[in-house]
Copies of this chain bind each other. A is one copy, B any other.
Amino acid sequence: MALDNTWYTEQWAGQGSAISLKLKDKVHDEQSPYQRIEIYETETFGTLMTLDGLVMVTDRDNFVYHEMMSHPALFTHPDPKRVLVIGGGDCGTLREVLRHKTVQLAEQVELDERVTRVSEKFFPELCQSNADPRAKLHFADGIEWAAKAAPGSYDVIIIDSTDPVGPAAGLFSEIFYKNCFRALSADGVVVGQSESPLFHADLIVSVQKAFKGAGFGSVATLQFPQCTYPSGWWSCMLARKQGSATDFRRRDAEAKGFATRYYNAAIHAAASAMPQFLAEQLHV
| Residues of A that sit less than 8 Å from B by CB | 1-5, 7-9, 11, 14-22, 42-45, 53, 60-61, 64, 197-198, 223, 225-227, 231-233, 260-264, 266-267, 269-271, 273-277, 279
Cross-chain contact A276 with B267 (CB below 8 angstroms)? yes
CB distance from A173 to the nearest CB of B (A): 27
- Interface pair A3/B2, CB less than 8 Å apart: yes
6 contacts across the A-B interface (CB closer than 8 A): A1-B5, A3-B11, A267-B275, A270-B270, A270-B273, A271-B273
Q: How far is the CA of A225 from the CA of B233 in the complex (A)?
A: 6
Give A85 to B80 CA distance when docked, in angstroms: 50
- B4, B198, B261: the one contacting A276 at CB < 8 Å is B261
Min C-beta distance of A42 to chain B, whole Å:
6
On chain B, the residues within 8 Å of A9 by CB distance are: 1-3, 20
Residues in B whose Cβ lies below 8 Å from that of A198: 60-61, 225, 227
- Given contacts A2-B3, A263-B276, list 13 more A-B pairs with CB under 8 A: A2-B5, A16-B21, A16-B22, A17-B21, A18-B20, A19-B20, A227-B232, A262-B275, A262-B276, A266-B274, A269-B270, A269-B273, A270-B271
> Shortest 8 CB-CB distances between A and B: which pairs?
A232-B232, A16-B44, A270-B273, A270-B270, A16-B43, A225-B233, A16-B22, A266-B273
Given A20-B9, A227-B233: A274 touches B267 (CB 8 Å cut-off): yes
Minimum CB–CB distance from A86 to chain B (whole Å) comes to: 26
CB distance from A59 to the nearest CB of B (A): 12
